[in-house]
Amino acid sequence: MTVSTLDTALRAAAPGKIFELAAPEGATEYAVWHEYAPRTLTGDDAVQLEAPRVQIDVIWQRRGSTLLRTVKDTLTALELPYEVISHGYDDAWSAMRCILQLEVV
């Protein structure tokens, strides 16, 4: 699995609602992902594997939004376990926000 494969799958599942790093101004229902410090596996005195870590922020402002369920279902279909870091109303975004984190291996 690659980060590119993850991006492609998310964009196919939620066309026009998935973005890398930032969403367009004025968007009210979207998911933004970014890659950050990889987790490494060391063996034989060397790094054997670097697994990119990804954070996905899902933002929505209307009741009944299915975007979060779509993102979670896509991760499950890709067999990528995720952790919910935060889920609730975010004053800074004036919207509901769920933060998911995962490792892409």
Look up the CATH number of the domain holding residue 69: 3.30.2000.10
Q: Distance between CA atoms of 85 and 13, rounded to whole angstroms?
A: 22
Tell me how far apart the alpha carbons of residues 74 and 6 are, in angstroms, rounded to a whole number: 9
Instruction: Calculate the average pLDDT of the chain.
Output: 96
**Is the model's pTM score more than 0.85?**
yes
**N- to C-terminal Cα separation, the chain:** 5
Domain of 27 in residue numbering reads as 3-103
Total residue count of the chain as it appears in this document: 105
Q: Which helix (H) or strand (E) holds 6?
A: helix 3-13
Question: Count of domains in the chain?
Answer: 1
* Residue 37 burial by Cβ neighbours in a 10 Å radius (0-12, 13-18, 19+): exposed
At 53 the pLDDT is 97
pLDDT score for 68: 98
Q: How confident is the model at residue 79 (pLDDT cuts 50, 70, 90)?
A: very high
Q: What does the pLDDT read at residue 16? A: 97
Residues 51/39, Cβ–Cβ less than 8 Å:
yes
